[in-house]
Amino acid sequence: MPAEGLVAAEDVLLFANAAITATAQREFHGGAAEQRMSLDFLHAYMLGNYRDLYAAVLALGINDHNAALVIHGLLATAGEATPRQRHLEGRLIARRFALLPPQRGYALVAALREAKVNNRRTRAIVRDWLAARPDLALDAVKYRTGLKTALRHAHLPPPSAELGDFLFRPRARARYTAPLLDTWRRAHYEQGAVHELPFTVAEGFAARHGIARAAFLERIAPRMTRGERLRLQESARREGAAAVRADLTAMPLTRLASYVLGLPLPDRAARRAELTAALRAAARRAAGPEAGTWGRVAAVLDDSFSAYASGHKRRRPLAVALAAHFLLAELGAAYAPYWTSGRRDALPAVPHGATPLGERVLDALEPRPDRLVIVSDGWDNAPPGMAAEVLRVWHERLDPHGRVSVVHLNPVYDADTFTVRRLSPTVPTAGIRDAEDLPVLTGLARFAAGRTGLPELRAHLDARVAAFLAPVPEEGAAP
């Protein structure tokens, strides 16, 4: 049944694109409620119709929000799985669960508890996840409610009597032997102890003790995580706490691009050398062995006003475009960027103006590069639909053999169509969340051209699942 196979392949790709991009947050063109409703429907539809493919999508690098939803969906309907499905599902869930950031993991357990999902498999997965957490004492301090909920929900005894007392009988002991737990106890009355706690916990104590923000930031700096340091660097500098310094060269590419776009233009100009070097280093790391292997690359990058996204995900599409700009510069032997606004310099990018994608695509195609990558939310509006026409005529008349490979990557989920907006039926489109995934996604996008059937897609998914489940020696968390 090839037609049915095509439909299934289309559905899976639609869902994969949604699960990579959608975060159920407000977007430029749609509200949060709309996004959430659209995404919930899509999850229910996939779970009901293609359970094994739905589980396999966990191996595809979907974002954490959707991974949590998929795990939740699979666990809630565990009884409907066949024994064979159940085995693979269990391994996929356990593997993806371990990759979730701890706050999302605990939130997922809380959501499962709220939904009264408490089958044996859920309990086993939570048990294994907790057993693999590197430091439960830290979790007990930092995610106190989350850990309590998880232990209760999975019917687990506390890992040690002391931790049990800490969580469930906080007044039972005068002091603790575990240093972190005891620091937490002392922090209630001793200002010095506050600065030995994790930052988020210490922040509350600092407010209670009335510690000045600048002094607090100065002393807590060594205890901050990488993300916290990046997030607080600018506000700490305004407060006068110079100790909070993020090491920009070690940051992931898209995160770094977001940070750069959050800086005011004069700062970006003043720190141009430092920021460019950091972005290049991150791009080189993301490119890895593929660096310089893509031939002559052109990119059409969308910096129109809609790249601002919303107050929830500020400038995310623009950050993806900026990150893709630096990544493609590393991947290609020669590289030419074409911003929709016509800017030549990427660093001072601001989301502003209309989206004349048609003209930019033509500008990019004219020198006949080997590859063209379009990073845009697909709202082509000056004039609307011109990019599709240009690409159609290009394929029909000027490049009938398809020597230039064109791919469209879209960072924005469109709630109305249940997937990312396409530019043209002739060009494959894939959703993108982090620019680092760009090489992988261009591979996935070839399925989106609509010509590849389910068997090929299934083979691709099986290969990705096998690679995902293969034991990784350096990762200590995996059993």
Partner 1 sequence: MTAAAELRLDLAGLRTAPAQVWGGIRLVPLVRDAPVPGLRLHREQYGEGYGVVDVAPHTVYTSYIPHGFVADWSGAGDAAAYGTQLRGEQAAASTSARVPVEAVPVRVHRRMARRQGRRRLRFLPLHLALEGYLALHFGGPAVAWEEWSQRALRRGLSPRVEEAYAGLEVQGLGDALRVFEIHPGQCGLLLYTADALTAAFAVPHPDDYRALHATLVHDLYGELVHHYALLSAPVPDFVPRLDAAAVSSTADLRAALAGQRAAWADFHAGTMAAGLLAPAYAARTVHRAGDFTLLRFLPAFRPRTENHVGEAITTADGRLAYLKTFRLSEAQTRRGHLLSTLAAHDWSLPRAAEALGRSEADLRTRLAGAGFAALLKHRPHAPR
Q: How far is the CB of 435 from partner 1 (least distance, A)?
A: 23
Instruction: By CB under 8 A, name the one of 386, 406, 420, 427 that touches partner 1.
Output: 386
265 is a contact residue toward partner 1 (CB under 8 A): no
383 is a contact residue toward partner 1 (CB under 8 A): yes
Sign of CA dihedral 375, 378, 380, 384: positive
Instruction: By CB under 8 A, name the one of 204, 292, 384, 450 that touches partner 1.
Output: 384
Of 178 and 357, which has the nearer Cβ to partner 1?
357
Instruction: By CB under 8 A, name the one of 94, 140, 390, 444 that touches partner 1.
Output: 390
Site string for partner 1, 339-378 (x = CB under 8 A): --x----------xxxx--xx--x--xx------------
Of 277 and 398, which has the nearer Cβ to partner 1?
398
Give, as ranges, the residues between 166 and 195 that touch partner 1 (CB under 8 A). none
427 is a contact residue toward partner 1 (CB under 8 A): no
Query: HSE-up of 439 (CA within 13 Å, CB side)?
Result: 19
Q: Which region among 11-19, 185-193, 395-403, 435-443 touches partner 1 (by CB under 8 A)? A: 395-403
Q: Give the whole-angstrom CA distance, residue 325 versus residue 77.
A: 42
Q: How far is the CB of 29 from partner 1 (least distance, A)?
A: 6
The token pair at 371 is 């590859």
Q: Give the whole-angstrom CA distance, residue 375 versus residue 430.
A: 10
Mode of pairing for the β-strands spanning 296-301 and 334-339: parallel
Q: Give the whole-angstrom CA distance, residue 268 versus residue 445.
A: 34
Closest CA to 262 of 286, 231, 228: 231
287 is a contact residue toward partner 1 (CB under 8 A): no
Q: Which residues contact 212 (CB under 8 A, 6 or more apart)?
A: none
Closest CA to 252 of 284, 294, 276: 284
Q: Which region among 124-132, 148-156, 257-265, 299-307 touches partner 1 (by CB under 8 A)? A: 299-307
Size of the site for partner 1 (CB under 8 A): 30
Give, as ranges, the residues between 74 and 133 that touch partner 1 (CB under 8 A). none
Q: Which residues contact 230 (CB under 8 A, 6 or more apart)?
A: 246, 248, 251, 255, 259
Q: Give the whole-angstrom CA distance, residue 100 versus residue 95.
A: 9
> Which helix (H) or strand (E) is 334 found in, with range?
strand 334-339
Site string for partner 1, 201-240 (x = CB under 8 A): ----------------------------------------
Could you list the residues that contact partner 1 (CB under 8 A)?
28-29, 304-306, 341, 352-355, 358-359, 362, 365-366, 381-386, 388-390, 392-394, 396-398
